Structure 1
Amino acid sequence: MTQGAAPTALVAGFLAHIEGGRRYSAHTVKAYERDLGQWLAFLTAHKGRAVTSKDLSELSGTDWRAWLADRRREGAGPRTLQRALSAVRSFYAFVRARHGIDNAALALVEAPRAPRRLPRPVSEAAAKAMLDDAGTAHSEAWHGARDTAVLALLYGAGLRVSEALSLTGRDYPLADALRITGKGGRTRLVPVLQPVREAVDAYVTVCPFPLAADQPLFKGARGGALNARAVQRCVERMRGALGLPSTATPHALRHAFATHLLAGGGDLRAIQELLGHASLSTTQIYAEVDTARLLSVHAATHPRARRAAGG
């Protein structure tokens, strides 16, 4: 075991590792930093003093249960607790390998079960309306072309917002397939449809800033990197303009990519590869979405279902 290493320094080393070595997204690193910071703050209050690396090895089941109970009192739900516990487990895997610090009691801590929440994709009509609307919302034509291109990558290629915004000039012109590095550093090949390539071409043609190989493909108003919040604001505006529900988000376009592929006869394993999911169980949830949609259509349109509803 590394002697004298402060837990805060160990956490800093872990965060640097997942950001630089594992190439986790900035959003994920921030979430881990927040969860681990809250955990260390609890331990300090719980012990009544600054904790040491020795304390990390000696935490008991009672200590772990007290931490989870404290988070619940603060209003943390099952999903938040699952995420926090996952962050702590990842941290221990790091310090076990690098510093010989382990905690046997942690292996016995069970994460609370969270209700399974189905993805809420936008409809095909809504996705088309969003792509059509994105190009008309700005006084600057190139802003509209840019937003259209980003949304086309989300819906037409199933990219996460962070993945679309990580593209650089080196990726242009888009090939028939993009090599994308997603969550957990997993790399996948994503086919690019001709309409998606055309949307990106249209943006590059009117973008007033030079396209450098080592610079972001999608530019903000002043030529810097376009950020995810700008894409979110774009979709928020559309919700009002097009009468879309609050569930219509940039990520809902990725959900729509998967759901519409499945509805069209796509294979779950292939969709898993296209989305970059580590586990098939994550992708299978889209089958539940499609089943729920079919049941809803059946209930709304079948003559006997309508008759029963009308008494």
Structure 2
Amino acid sequence: MGVLVVEELDSRGRDLASMVLPSWGRVVSIDGVVPFAMLDDIGAPVEPVQTFLRDFTACGNRAGSARSYAFALLRWWRFLLAVDVAWNHATAAETRDFVLWLKQAAKPVAAYRTASLKLIGTVNPVTRKEYLGDDYKPRTVRHSNAVLRTFYQFWIEQGHGPLVNPVPLARRHGGSRPNEHHNPLQPFRPEGRLRYNPPLPKRRPRAIPDAAWNDLFTALGSHRDRALLALAISTAARASELLGVKACDVDWGEQLIRVRRKGTDAEQWLPASPEAFVWLRLYLGGLSRMAPSDALWWTLRRRRRGEARPQRVELSYDALRAVLRRANALLGANWTMHDLRHTCALRMTRNANLSLRDIQTLLGHAHLSTTQIYLEDDDHAVIARVRQHHAELEERAARQPRPALPGAEYDVGDMSVLFGTGAGR
């Protein structure tokens, strides 16, 4: 029998597997009330997106969120150009095809990438973490759906755009009301979920073992880097929160640092380890006197080609990633700044003097359920305990006399018959 070949075309004749989005438009940072703009192929702002971003910013959302929404909408605009559908004529069919395309498409990457392409899908032998690939993860797809749902809801409320939001909600089971016939012994089923949202894999906390942390710390090349990572692993602050610390945000007497929380921008004082403040003092000792409003972390860069001396500029997130990249290259690892946050949280859960509520406050989690993931031990701790268990069994067995194995004594003549002359020698 022949193999039945089904051409993967939907009802509108779209070949999603071979579709390539045009390199149309771009997102740029701008000066003004709205920090980012989405430009078309001739450099003009895309008015539907820019009007939405203005309202989005006015609702109190931060600049990073506006940037994330702008890039998600740029990807959606490119898809609509590829399928030849206007933004205000999109339907649920376009959203469905967009999600299907994201599940099999690869992200656009820089042409100079060579070494990292060979590591995609492999597992690092030091950290046992898989190297990220160029595919779109389920969280990216879900974020894209949420952005599009919010964007179209805004324009529907304004009386423009499609009559029905093209990002539909999930169908209810049997058309029943939300949580109808709910079992009080079971948790409530979340309602209002987007229809084309893929399920998320279960997240497990990952910690850096103590020996690996010592190796990583030794591989750092400056007091600044040691101070920054020592603060990260003792406060569990995010990288963006640490980079936003100013000189006035350090309380030397109480050994506290003040961060502005991601999302809420709320100020919070976090206790740090004495070792972190020692490295911070050594780092600041090599700098000139700074004003209280100055940033805490600096680096040297040549802003223009041909400058005789590098200028001092604020340490950026990309520069911090480069610091870890150099250290990982020496160790053959792929640790990240977020691994330090996980490590700090897992260390605190093993301390009987700290409650889960204390850890939630330190991590800045809005819900206790988010903090509960750290109650599970990471793989490194479990493997270490199992190895200790096997070693104890071996030691116990070595202290006991071993019984003779059956067949340990045999007749040489019988073995010669079975295996030939000279087999018993």
- The TM-score normalised by the length of structure 1 is 0.76
Greater helix share, structure number: 1
Return the match for 2:204 from 118, 124, 143.
Answer: 118
Per-residue CA deviations over 1:167-191 (Å, capped at 9, x if unaligned) read: 1223245554444222212524422
Is 2:141 the counterpart of 1:81? yes
The code of the aligned residue for 1:197 comes to F
Verify the 8 A CA contact 1:22 1:184 in the aligned structure 2. Answer: no
Per-residue CA deviations over 1:146-201 (Å, capped at 9, x if unaligned) read: 11111122111111111111112232455544442222125244223333233222
Verify the 8 A CA contact 2:219 2:327 in the aligned structure 1. Answer: yes
Bigger RCO (CA 8 Å, 6+ sep): 1
Is 2:212 the counterpart of 1:212? no
Q: Distance in 2 between matches of 1:197 and 1:184?
A: 27
RMSD (CA atoms): 3.2
Worse overlay, 194-203 or 255-264: 194-203
Per-residue CA deviations over 1:230-279 (Å, capped at 9, x if unaligned) read: 222222222243x3532x12221111111111122343332222122233
Report % sequence identity.
26
**Deviation at residue 297 of structure 1 after TM alignment:** 2.7
Structure 1's unaligned 5+ residue stretches are 1-5, 138-143
Verify the 8 A CA contact 1:299 1:305 in the aligned structure 2. Answer: no
Return the match for 2:273 from 193, 200, 217.
Answer: 193
Instruction: Indicate the SS of the match to 1:216.
Output: coil
Is 2:61 the counterpart of 1:61? no
Verify the 8 A CA contact 2:205 2:378 in the aligned structure 1. Answer: no
- Correspondence list, 1:274-285, <5 A: 274-285=362-373
Verify the 8 A CA contact 1:22 1:185 in the aligned structure 2. Answer: no
Cα distance change, pair 107–190 in 1 and its aligned pair in 2 (3 A): farther
Verify the 8 A CA contact 1:124 1:256 in the aligned structure 2. Answer: no
- Correspondence list, 1:133-172, <5 A: 133-134=219-220, 137=221, 144-172=222-250
Quote the residue 1:301 is aligned against.
Answer: 388
Q: Distance in 2 between matches of 1:215 and 1:18?
A: 29
The code of the aligned residue for 1:193 comes to S
Quote the residue 2:70 is aligned against.
Answer: 33
The code of the aligned residue for 1:24 comes to R
Cα distance change, pair 179–84 in 1 and its aligned pair in 2 (3 A): same
Verify the 8 A CA contact 2:241 2:262 in the aligned structure 1. Answer: no
Question: Which has the greater radius of gyration?
Answer: 2
The code of the aligned residue for 2:345 comes to A
Return the match for 1:42 from 51, 57, 79.
Answer: 79
The code of the aligned residue for 2:204 comes to L
The code of the aligned residue for 1:106 comes to V
Cα distance change, pair 21–180 in 1 and its aligned pair in 2 (3 A): farther
- The TM-score normalised by the length of structure 2 is 0.58
Cα distance change, pair 163–44 in 1 and its aligned pair in 2 (3 A): same
**Deviation at residue 9 of structure 1 after TM alignment:** 2.5
